[in-house]
Amino acid sequence: MALSPLESEKLARLIQVARGRAKADLVIRGGSIFDVFSGRFVPGDLAIWEDRLAGVGPPGSYAGERELLVTGYLVPGFVDSHVHVESSLASPQSLAPTLLENGVTAVVADPHEIVNVAGLLGLDYFLASARVAAMDFFLTLPSCVPASNLEKGGSEVTAQDLSPYFGRPGVLGLGEMMNYPGVLAGDPEVLAKLTLARSRGALIDGHAPMVGGLDLSALRASGVSSDHEAATVQEAVERLERGFWLMIREGTAARNLVGLWPAITRENARFCLLATDDRHARDLVNQGGVNYMISLAQNLSQIPLPDILRMATINPAQFFGFKDRGALAPGYLADLALYPDLTSWKPRKVWKNGRLVVDEGYLGSSKIQKISLESGLLNSVRLAPLEPNSLKVPATGSQVRVIGLKPDQIVTDSLKLSWPARAGFYEAEPGLGIVKMAIWNRYGGDGVAKVGFLKGLGLQRGALAQTISHDSHHLVAAGVEDADILLAARTVVNMGGGLALAAGGQVLGTLALPLGGLMSNAPLREIAQILEGLDQVCHQLGTEPGRDPFLTLGFMSLPVIPRLKLTVAGLVEDFQIVDLVSP
């Protein structure tokens, strides 16, 4: 297809700027430029014209309408390779400023959380939000809504539903295939989604916790090409050896970088990507995201810094097929950041599409643009009045299955424990570290809870409740006293979704999340500040510092993560419904 006259004229101008025959819009001088191809930092000029890097050359190569002398290190904008925006508790528009302040100029997001709640309306909302955000949000289409046949959420999305979305701007492929048992068993609907993605030449993201051996080979043969669920060195090595791109995750509930790092070598680092997956607002504001991972990895000192930086720049660009980002090279987008040193990784300046968007570390005030589709996401919690008696667990046996938390992981243990019943019922036993957990169907449910027990959360009194329970996002709560569990849960219902804490018959704190019960349009720093206060109250109630109680609880109902989880269908162990109490 021939270029239009305007496009030809712009291309001719870009070429002349690159040759030094025409002035650039901006020339950045004096910095040390990271060359992803050689792995070296080199002195030179960056010539920016419109949204592009027209040229990179030795000092003094270029002249510009504006010229900026800097000191420090110029690095391509980071790409976060796997993100669930909803886990930040912010909309894409309100999340973007903090990501830019952390040097991230593009993310690849799987919006399966909001799609589980609102169906294709949620997907359309996310596409519209991405268009008005201050940075680039690329999408992979949710492959598992619901996550498995053991869940029932607000919607069900089929291959036929997804078909029209392939090929839309910003859509890269099929999101994480969490129903890996369905892949291995040849489930017709799962195969239809895989076949659809393959027929469109689209990538397929993976999700395969604790899968190995021939089953792992079968997943790779199906077209799944990445995985972010490796939790051990052995799992990481096996994925790399089977041809997967390894996404190294450092979220809030699941922190895998330190544990996986011994698996990374100079030879295989080329196929590794950095991903924050599910990361709360507080951590994004206080620690950072991808930039925090770079600092953490650098401190482990096993892999040279250039290889680490490639995991956040050129590696994801090449995996996702981005032709014009991931490097500071002629013709690439002018997405870059200036760092004062090579240790802190907090950028002093960030340019997006050639425009300075972060100056002296901050984006500055910007109005968060709302979109009309938001109205369809409000008032999304619909269930009958909560039934108090459904929280009772009759002591019909001597052993109770208990979900056992693991440090810094979302995989759990399946424990069988015994403790004395009270008046014929099993109750929380905070002295043993055991709290009661409850989940209600928020999509027109009857107010009757499914109940289980959880060990390791640390609560000694009180309760927390939320409409964040991956992936169907029902109303979930955990606590010591039934009355506080009900109070916290009712508070969440009354505010249309969000987080709540209660103890001693009083509500101690809330965070409203009106957009599907998952997100807010409030600035991320404001969300983080409220979360900080809620966490402090949680710690006063007994939870351990360093564990995010809300995000941890949010994963205790996700049956595609082994081993024991509580869903609205009941207690699930390794994809099977099991009894809570046994002889």
466 in any annotated domain: yes
Tokens of 115: 């799609």
Structure tokens belonging to residue 340:
């004062």
257-272 pLDDT, tens per residue? 999 999 999 999 999 9
313 and 405 part of one domain: no
Q: Could you tell me if 225 and 257 lie in one domain? A: yes
Q: How wide is the angle at C-alpha 346 spanned by C-alphas 341 and 348, nearest 5°? A: 80
Q: Are the C-beta atoms of 476 and 463 separated by less than 8 Å?
A: no
pLDDT tens digits for range 239-254: 999 999 999 999 988 8
* Residues 293 and 359 reside in one and the same domain: no
pLDDT digits (tens, 9 = 90+) for 552-579: 999 999 988 889 999 999 999 988 999 9
Q: Please say whether the beta carbons of 559 and 147 come within 8 A.
A: yes
Any idea what the CATH number is for the domain that residue 56 is in?
2.30.40.10
Identify the residue with better confidence: 504 or 150: 504
**Confidence band of 117 (pLDDT split at 50, 70, 90):** very high
Residue 49 main-chain phi, psi, to 5 deg: -130, 125
State the pLDDT confidence band at 509, using cuts at 50, 70 and 90. very high
User: What does the pLDDT look like over 160-207, one tens digit per residue?
Assistant: 999 999 999 999 999 999 999 999 999 999 999 999 999 999 999 999
Tell me the pTM.
0.92
Claim to verify: residue 52 and residue 187 sit in the same structural domain: no
Dist. CA 145–CA 126, nearest whole Å? 16
**∠ Cα 468 229 578 (to 5°):** 60
pLDDT at 87: 94
Please, which pLDDT band fits residue 366 given cuts at 50, 70 and 90? low
* Residue 382, preceding peptide bond in cis (omega within 30° of 0): no
Q: Are the C-beta atoms of 43 and 69 separated by less than 8 Å?
A: no
Average pLDDT, the chain: 95
Per-residue pLDDT, 13? 95
Query: Is the domain of 514 the same as that of 550?
Result: yes
Q: Cβ(78)–Cβ(291) under 8 Å?
A: yes
What local confidence, expressed as pLDDT, does residue 151 receive? 80
- pLDDT digits 0-9 by tens, 88-102: 999 999 999 999 999
Distance CA 333, CA 355 (A): 11
Cα(182)–Cα(68) distance, integer angstroms: 55
Tell me the torsion sign for CA atoms 278, 272, 106, 177. Answer: negative
CATH of residue 248's domain is: 3.20.20.140
398 and 355 inside one domain: no
Task: Identify any residues that bridge with 246 across adjacent strands, giving them in sequence order.
Answer: 227, 272
Average pLDDT over residues 540-546: 87
Both 29 and 159 in one domain: the answer is: no
199 and 272, same domain (yes or no): yes
d(CA 410, CA 214): 24
- 4 pLDDT band, cuts 50/70/90, is confident
Q: What single DSSP character describes residue 432?
A: G
Taking the alpha carbons of 456, 459, 465, 466 in that order, is the dihedral positive or negative? Answer: negative
Of residues 437 and 4, the one with the higher pLDDT is: 437
Is residue 169, in this structure, part of any structural domain at all? yes
Structural domain includes residue 480:
yes
- Range of weakest confidence among 3-7, 72-76, 309-313: 3-7
106 with 145, same domain: the answer is: yes
Strand 434-440 versus strand 475-479 pairing type: antiparallel
- Taking only the tens place, the pLDDT of each residue in 35-84 is 999 999 999 999 999 999 999 999 999 999 999 999 999 999 999 999 99
What is the domain range of residue 210? 76-317
**What's residue 365's pLDDT?**
63
- Length of the chain equals 583
Question: Is residue 322 in some structural domain?
Answer: no
Residue 131 resides in a domain: yes
Domain assignment present for 195: yes
Neighbours of 375 (CB within 10 A): 10
* DSSP per-residue codes, 235-262: HHHHHHHTTPEEEEEB-SS-B-HHHHGG
- The answer as to whether 535 is a domain residue is yes
Q: SS3 for 401?
A: strand
Q: Say how many domains are in the chain.
A: 3
Same-domain pairing of 159 and 307: yes
If we measure between CA atoms, which residue out of 199, 181, 200 comes closest to residue 190? 181
Residue 250: its pLDDT value, please? Answer: 97
Q: What is the average pLDDT across 532-547? A: 90
Residues 276 and 406 in one domain: no
Q: How confident is the model at residue 113 (pLDDT cuts 50, 70, 90)?
A: very high
Which tokens sit at 89? 């508790």
Contact 413, 563 (CB under 8 A): yes
Alpha-carbon distance of 324 to 46, in angstroms, equals: 16
Q: Check whether residue 125 and residue 267 sit in a common domain.
A: yes
**Cβ atoms < 10 Å from Cβ of 51:** 15
Say if 323 falls within a structural domain: no
Residue 471 CA: distances (Å) to CA of 82, 244, 330, 411, 558: 16, 24, 42, 15, 6
